[in-house]
Structure 1
Amino acid sequence: MQLDFFPSRTLTLYLARLFVLRIMAMLALLVLVLMMLDLLGTSGKIMAVEGNGQAELWRYVSLRVPQLIARFLPYSVLLATVITLLALNQNSEIVAMKAAGMSAHQVLAPLFLAAAAVSLASFAFNERVVTRATATLKAWEGAQFGPVPQEVGARSNVYFADGNDVLSAATMTGSGETMALQDVTFYRRTAAGTLTEQFRAPRATYAAPGWELVGAERFDVAAARTDRVERIVVGEGLTIEQIELDSVDPDAQGFFALRESIEAYERVGRRTSELEAKWWHKLAGPLSAMLMPLLGAVAAFGLARSGQLFVRALIAMALGFAYFVVDNAALAMGSFGGYPPLLAAWAPFFLFLLIGETVLVRTEE
């Protein structure tokens, strides 16, 4: 019986290389298919804008692909785990390794090592690529796939509450007193929430206090009449600081930037449950790749001629997909305050770590 956690160097490199190649193949397949399906539903909106062409389609692909990679990388690791272990089992390589005195954990050790490397690469990819692509794509979608203002920090589909009144904008650009809102809609409501007036304007700028609308179209609900207002200041209670806090997008911010946003929320006494859950999940999400070899280990063992290999593969797939369902549900509960943020992000990971370890020990060790 070997006492080292890893098998020989040759066998470790062989299994790790086999596993990584299958991960890359499954990820490429999933991203290719999903990107094609995505384009079928989005290309019409992109091409409907005058001046857009093939270059804009490729731009959309370049922004959407990083999101698909980040989202479906753990699924690719799960599928690669099942495929790799099934092939090793059918070729009796698992039997040979166990006959040499290797434990089930030693057989899986190279896969854990490769999955850990994938997790680190996934975290770095999310920080450097995915967050920026997400911010750019959301700003472009907010502009209806038309020209996006080139100011730094452009954000789309922003929504702010000033008491009972509501101010929304398709795009927000700039920072501080140079901040500007495009395609603005302001809803004036009574204390009971009844809509009394609606203003629409192509642009709004900070008026210290409030936001000045130029060339606004005013709709009076009671009179059912529309007229034009050249200049009007609305949302006097909306300060620059409040708008900057309300426009935080956890998906478009990196791990350290989001931590600073959470601290800013805490200083003004704002609720941070959703942001904290997303912040913890920026660590737990990439680490989920390390769980997949453990959850898919059921497919590695058992005699290939027993007729139960297909059933074992189904069990491995069921365990893996159950993790993703529970993880998404827990994250949603954490965002709504049902679970503490730390528990929402990490409970599924440790729960399925224990489940996978229990199944492996009871059936193979």
Structure 2
Amino acid sequence: MNGFFPSRTISLYMARMFLVRTFGILAALVIVLQALDLLSESGKILAVAGNGDPEVWRYASLRAPQIVARFLPFSVLLGTILTLITMNQNSEIIALKAAGLSAHQVLAPLIVASLGVAGVSFTFNERVVARATATLSQWQKVNYGPLPIDRGDRTNVWVRSGDDLIEVDQIRGRGDAAQLGGITLYDRIDGRLTAIVTAPRGTREGDGWRIAPAKRFDVASGRVTQLESIVVAQGVRPDQFTLASVDADGLTFGALDEAIGDLEESGRPTKALEGALWHKLSGPLSSVLMPLLGAVAAFGIARSGKLFVRAVIGMALGFAYFVADNFALAMGNLGAYPPFLAAWAPFLLFLLIGEAVLLRTEE
């Protein structure tokens, strides 16, 4: 054995064992959690007229990627601990250390494999999870009714224009090219509703929005008036519709970065979204931490009876990271932590903790 890694055969053996256990645990978790989730949601889905088994399977296909993304780091942690416990019990760790390998060299194949898992996780989040989350969010907003066709559209947006309230069912495009669908204008004077104007579509015109064909319901008289087209919402900018509610989980890294730029240009707060943007990088990379945090289960003599305790310590370190990560994100959303710190502080902190534990006990 030479270099930083064990021999090629041993490295592939350890990486294969680690990946098989990791994705086996992930598959079991997804099956169990998806079944439990369907128990609570299938009733709501089937309560909608016209929904049946295809809609239940559609929900499962949209929910499963979210479960995979959330529990992949947990699976890496458990896969690491199970792999290292097995090697410890079979005296394989002892053989590697007797050959002159350090603790870091023993863990190197697992860390490289976890880097690959992190890359797969990031790609999966970008290509699958973001799209599934956006689609499921739209479907849930209409209570599992007809699924919106354009998955890139924003739905159910409310905007205030002076005393008036404007509800838009769907927005397509951005900037002056934005198109509104299903507009409802609640015309109010001094907080009192005087009329309701509805129209199926609207486009940008000047500093307002032309909607057509419009229909006006007068609250006082109860009379409905048909209008050709009218300009409403004077002074309402396109970004007030398109950026009214930015769902960070439903956007890819590039799309979220672009939305943050648009929000900054319009002078709106972006700290919480910046934290979510950074977390799209630090989240997948948390898989790289798991071999380090679970390494305590690899070392020590198996027959000493303390192997189970070491495994529990490894799990405790891993779960403490997830608690700290969620806490930091919550503090970032409240504005207590800067966005970069909220996303990266737990990762860097537990990287140092894992290194300290490994150096203290084994190096």
TM interval, shorter chain, is 0.7 to 0.9
Secondary structure at the residue paired with 1:238? Answer: coil
Q: 1:178 to 1:356 in 2, by over 3 A?
A: closer
Native 8 Å contact 1:215 1:228 kept in 2: no
Please say if residues 23 and 80 of structure 1, whose CA atoms lie closer than 8 Å, have aligned partners that are also in contact: yes
For 1:274, the equivalent position in structure 2 comes to 272
Question: What is the SS of the residue equivalent to 1:246?
Answer: coil
Measured after TM superposition, the shift of residue 215 of structure 1 is: 6.0
**Is the CA contact 2:163–2:188 (under 8 Å) kept in the aligned structure 1?**
yes
User: In the TM superposition, what are the counterparts of 1:92-103 in structure 2 within 5 Å?
Assistant: 92-103=91-102
Q: 1:81 to 1:230 in 2, by over 3 A?
A: farther
2:202 alignment partner in structure 1: 206
The residue aligned with 2:32 is 33
Change (3 A) 1:269 1:111: same
> What do the CA deviations read for 1:286-323 (whole angstroms, capped 9, x no partner)?
00000000000111111111111111111111110110
- 8 Å CA contact 1:149–1:173 kept in 2: the answer is no
Q: Report the Cα distance in structure 1 between the residues aligned to 2:102 and 2:129, rounded to whole angstroms.
A: 39
SS at match of 1:335: helix
- Please provide the CA RMSD for this pair: 2.8
Work out the CA distance in 2 between the residues paired with 1:152 and 1:202. Answer: 24
> Which of 318, 324, 327 is the aligned partner of 2:325?
327
| 2:313 equivalent in structure 1 | 315
Distance 1:263 1:363 in 2: 47
Where does residue 292 of structure 1 map in the other structure? 290
Decide which of 253, 256, 261 is 1:255's aligned counterpart.
Answer: 253
Which one is further off, 284-293 or 273-282? 273-282
TM-score between the two structures when normalised by the length of structure 2: 0.87
The residue type paired with residue 80 of structure 1 is G
Which residue does 2:243 correspond to in 1?
245
The offset of 1:156, in angstroms, is 3.7
Task: Give yes or no for contact 2:178–2:238 (8 Å, CA) kept in 1.
Answer: no
CA–CA separation in structure 2 for the residues paired with 1:27 and 1:328: 20
Find the residue that maps to 2:243 and give its secondary structure.
helix
* Contact preservation (8 Å) 1:180, 1:203: no
Answer whether contact 2:135 2:151 (CA < 8 A) is retained. Answer: no
Mapping 1:215-230, distance limit 5 Å: none
CA separation in 1, counterparts of 2:127 and 2:120? 11
Residue of structure 2 equivalent to 1:108: 107
Q: Cα deviations across residues 314-361 of structure 1 (Å, max 9, x unaligned)?
A: 111111011011111111211222111111111110000000000000
CA, structure 1 residues 318+204, in 2 after alignment: closer, same or farther (shift >3 Å)? farther
Q: Does 1:352 align with 2:350?
A: yes
Secondary structure, in 3 states, of the residue corresponding to 1:172? strand
Change (3 A) 1:273 1:178: closer
SS at structure 2 position matched to 1:160: strand
Task: Name the CA shift for 1:217/1:9 in 2 (closer, same or farther; >3 Å).
Answer: farther
d(CA) in 2 for partners of 1:75, 1:218: 58
In structure 2, the CA distance between the partners of 1:307 and 1:37, relative to structure 1 (3 Å rule), is: same
Q: CA deviation at 1:144?
A: 1.4
- Please tell me the residue identity of whatever aligns with 2:202: Y
TM-score normalized by the length of structure 1: 0.87
SS in structure 2 opposite 1:148?
Answer: coil
Cα displacement (A) at 1:230: 5.3
Deviations 1:135-190 (A, max 9, x none): 11111111211113424633344343446765455x42423566335496859696
| Cα distance change on mapping 1:361 and 1:174 into 2, 3 Å | same
Q: Secondary structure at the match of 2:114?
A: helix
- Distance in 2 of aligned mates of 1:328 and 1:305: 37
Kept in 2: contact 1:152–1:173 (CA 8 A): no
Which position in structure 2 is the counterpart of 1:222?
none
User: Unmatched 5+ residue regions in structure 2?
Assistant: none
Provide the residue aligned with 1:5 in structure 2: 4
Please report how far the alpha carbon of residue 268 of structure 1 lies from its aligned counterpart in structure 2 after TM superposition: 2.2
Sort the Cα spacing of 1:177 and 1:295 in 2 relative to 1 into closer, same or farther, 3 A: same
Q: CA shift at 1:45, angstroms?
A: 1.0
273-282 or 202-211: bigger deviation: 202-211
Structure 1 distance, partners of 2:5, 2:322, is: 28
Offset at 1:210?
Answer: 5.4
Q: Which deviates further from its counterpart, 17-26 or 179-188?
A: 179-188
Which amino acid in 2 is paired with 1:119? Answer: A
Percent identity at matched positions? 54
Work out whether residues 298 and 316 of structure 1, in 8 Å CA contact, stay in contact via their aligned partners in 2: yes
Aligned residues: 354
